[in-house]
A and B are shown apart, each in its own frame.
Chain A
Amino acid sequence: MHIAHIVAAGMGGIRTAGDLVAWMQLSRKMKITEAKQYVADKLGIEIIDLTNEEIMRQIRQARGIGVITSIAGDPKGMRAKFKISELLNIHINSVDLFKSEMT
């Protein structure tokens, strides 16, 4: 059932830009249109391409914010979230904690 909702109406998570838009809703309480526009502006693309796998795959790999397939050595998890917090200019609690543990 979750998968049906994801396929019918979801943004595609780290396959596209779903996680990035979700971060904006969560961190800045942005409604969906505002959150999409914010992320699209940060990435320099149109809103329609936020869910375009062909575009987002290349952007995610180039920016080191994690791609859905497993590439040995490529950022994913905490390393990707470091870059996502910088890209979107937001605080991510786990990233802030990790940074504080490194100093």
Chain B
Amino acid sequence: MKDRFRTRMGDGELVSLSTGQVKDDIQAGTRDAAARADIPELTEDDVQQLLDIITEPSRVVSVAPGQEVIVTDDGCSMSFYAGQDSGGIGIPMSRLQAILTYERACAADTTSLGHSDYSFKPVKSIINYEMNEYYTASMLTTAPFFYGAQPNLGLYFQPDGPHPNPADLLPQRKIKEARATQEAAAEQLREDLVFVGKKLNSVGCEGLNFDTCGSAGDADFLAALQAMADLKEVTPNMPVIMGASGEFVLGMHGELTFNGKQLAGMYPHQQAKVAEAAGTRIFGVAIGTNTTKSVAWNVARTVTFVKATVAVANIPIHVNVGMGVGGVPMMETPPIDSVTRASKSLVQIGKADGL
């Protein structure tokens, strides 16, 4: 075995580490996840497998034949026409062209449509436009075709929305008022999610993606869970999937519960169980990348969370593996050496059902 290996830091910086350093980072990464979420560390076999993957000399790595998984997408086709702020490459093509290109040129397992703003609130006011575009595209796609957007509770607070902003209230020690405004905003978000869901169901939506749930904290996460449960009742034939925004539900409110479980502080294995109870068909875990740690540390940490989540979930678990999550470096152009090592590790060691 070579003494030193070409690998990366969480910000993409190319570094050279020894076998011992890589192994130390793997062990430190898994210990960190296990301690935070009170879940098992990776086994010695897992650590050795991960060490082999990270130190594999090939530039790009892949899973073994027969171990492939489903790669769902959250607006990936948008990358064809979007700008730099969305990681897009700015090709002047329509959404329909991008969707079909992603399905047929990239051999994607699923594809999706989304509004450029990618939040449900702005979608509500243009829902008829989105319904038309979805319906037209669904006539042409063969793979599962999602409509995706983010709940994004932040848009419901002043100055972007009607509700007083808890970020203004909390520093003034107005805890009660901060909680009340989050509860009111979450109720409005829930209504909007259900409104958009029902409209898309009326044009035969094959799957609705609640993407990046919980980005504004536990109230954001709660609204998504409640809307999921509502849609399960009123649109039972439209699958709804849910992706998290982080490994830890932020307690911006702190006292919100779903099915009697406190949401604030939930880690992926707990998030997946409440999402499962709410009715999601697939749950996407999101683990942040630490830019000051190595890819080995970040991947080990992510795999630890994922393995624990897959072990308890009765639904498919897909891992968010975009820029800065899932062990993928936090940069605009994540190097494919690190991207593919994250893919392989999450599938072969984490036992993820998809990415």
Q: What is the size category of the interface that chain A forms with chain B?
A: 35 or more
Interface residue SS majority, chain B: loop
* Proximity string of chain B (274-287) to chain A, C-beta cutoff 8 Å, 1 when within and 0 when not: 00000001100000
Contacts of A12 in B (CB 8 A): 68, 107, 109
**Does A21 lie within 8 Å of B206, measured CB to CB?**
no
User: Of residues A4, A23, A30, which shows the largest number of chain B Cβ atoms within 10 Å of its Cβ?
Assistant: A4
Q: Bound complex: CA of A27 vs CA of B247, how far in Å?
A: 26
Given contacts A26-B282, A48-B66, A93-B237, contact A6 B140 (CB under 8 A): no
Tell whether B41 is near chain A: CB-to-CB under 8 Å.
Answer: no
Q: Bound complex: CA of A10 vs CA of B68, how far in Å?
A: 5
Given contacts A10-B71, A13-B143, A32-B353, contact A96 B322 (CB under 8 A): no
Q: Among the listed A10, A11, A68, A96, which residue makes an inter-chain contact with B204, where contact means beta carbons less than 8 Å apart?
A: A96
Given contacts A10-B71, A77-B142, contact A94 B239 (CB under 8 A): no
Contacts of A59 in B (CB 8 A): none
**Does B206 lie within 8 Å of A93, measured CB to CB?**
yes
Q: Top 7 nearest A-B pairs by Cβ distance? A: A97-B204, A94-B204, A18-B109, A19-B143, A8-B340, A10-B71, A8-B343
What 19 new A-B contacts, CB under 8 Å, besides A10-B109, A13-B103, A51-B65?
Answer: A1-B322, A5-B71, A5-B339, A6-B71, A9-B67, A10-B355, A12-B68, A19-B109, A19-B143, A22-B144, A23-B144, A25-B70, A48-B66, A66-B142, A77-B139, A78-B138, A78-B139, A93-B201, A94-B206
